[in-house]
Amino acid sequence: MGYGDEIMATGDARVVRETTGRRVAICKGKTVRWHAMFSGNPGLASQAEVDSDPAVIRIQNYPGARPYLDYDKITRLGRSKLGKKASFKHEIGAARRWIYVPGYRVARGEIFLTEQEKAWAAEVRKSLGPFVVFEPRVKARASPNKQWGARRWLDLVDLAEKSAQLVQLVPPGCGALLPSRAAEVVTPTFRHAAAVLSQASAAVLPEGGLHHAAAALGVPAVVIFGGCTAADVLGYSDHVNLSYDHPDSPCGLRDPCGHCREAMDSIKPGDVARHLKKLLEREDG
């Protein structure tokens, strides 16, 4: 869990604020949390504001208490594998899968870029012209079942590179996953990556932090879900969410899964390219 969860937290806070008309704080217990993705957000209350104003609404959203996950079921599953009662952390770790809360639907988050971040990204846009972000990278701690596969990404590049300037966002110290096939933009922080993404005509992304950033920034995207993560829980209605229509989906497994391999096999580069083309035509229109 990481940047995507924190962007989602801002979406939950936004919904509460718009529903109640009251200030909102993202908390762990009584303590107001801070994260880089909350920076500059005028709708989030500080600790001082919470302490001085009883009208501020506290929402509980932190690692180990994310509203889209059914922790009771995950914990029971973990205990069944451990064979004994253990700490919450051990129970969650033993479960090795996410179980989603039925009926939960992600709310569009909010990202408030600084003027410096906007200017930096504008220079990228100026140097490259209109571009599409391709991001094959899945964070190291994520389930391997979120990997679409390098060969498919390269095939997609072959299909898309004639119609759009392609860009890959590269964290410092990391190699590009599409070497020489897409322009590389080294992004010092995730916020810089979000700033560049905000300048994109569209994006093709795995389910994760950047797809939540794209939604928060209003960037059209094709999102590759596969069979691990629930698109009807964590997908946005104005994105193209490619998932696997199968009784075992979403499996939520964090270990390699044959069902998820089948799911990714079902998502063809040609289909992704066609969805991307439609998004770009919609934007041009």
Name all domains of the chain by residue range, CATH numbers in brackets.
3-60 (no CATH), 69-103 (no CATH), 115-284 (3.40.50.2000)
57-60: strand order across its sheet: 31-32, 24-28, 57-60
Chain centroid offset of residue 19 CA: 24
Q: How far is CA 145 from CA 3, 38, 226, in A?
A: 19, 29, 8
DSSP code of residue 159: H
Closest CA to 224 of 108, 135, 116: 135
φ, ψ of residue 231 to 5 degrees: the values are -70, -30
What per-residue confidence (pLDDT) applies to 276?
Answer: 96
Where are the extended beta strands (E) located within 135-239?
165-170, 183-186, 202-206, 221-226
- φ, ψ at 134 (rounded to 5°): -110, 125
Give CA–CA dist 167/260, Å, rounded.
27
Closest CA to 110 of 40, 57, 62: 40
Number of Cβ atoms within 10 Å of the Cβ of 129:
8
What would you measure as the largest C-alpha separation in the chain, in angstroms? 60
Q: For residue 157, what pLDDT is reported?
A: 94
Sign of the torsion angle spanned by Cα atoms 241, 144, 64, 204: negative
Structure token pair of residue 106:
């992600």
Residue position matching structure tokens 């930096």:
120
Q: Please give the pLDDT value at position 181.
A: 81
Query: Which pLDDT score, from 0 to 100, does residue 163 have?
Result: 78
Please give the span between the terminal C-alpha atoms of the chain, in angstroms, as a whole number.
37
**CA 91 to chain CA mean position, Å:** 25
pLDDT tens per residue across all 285 residues of the chain: 489 999 999 999 999 999 999 999 999 999 999 999 999 999 999 999 999 999 999 999 999 999 999 999 999 999 998 876 678 888 899 999 999 998 999 999 999 999 999 999 999 999 999 999 999 999 878 899 999 999 999 999 999 988 789 999 998 888 778 877 889 999 999 999 999 999 999 999 999 999 999 999 999 999 999 999 999 999 999 999 999 988 889 999 999 999 999 999 999 999 999 999 999 988 776
Give the three-state DSSP class for 258: helix
Is-contact 32 46, C-beta < 8 A? Answer: yes
Inter-residue contact 257 to 266 (CB < 8 Å):
no
CA 187 to the chain's CA centroid: 17
pLDDT of residue 285: 60
Q: What CA–CA distance (Å, rounded) separates 223 from 241?
A: 5
The two three-digit tokens of residue 50, written as one number: 């919470």
Query: Phi and psi dihedrals of 246, rounded to 5?
Result: -155, 145
Task: Enter the pTM of the model.
Answer: 0.95
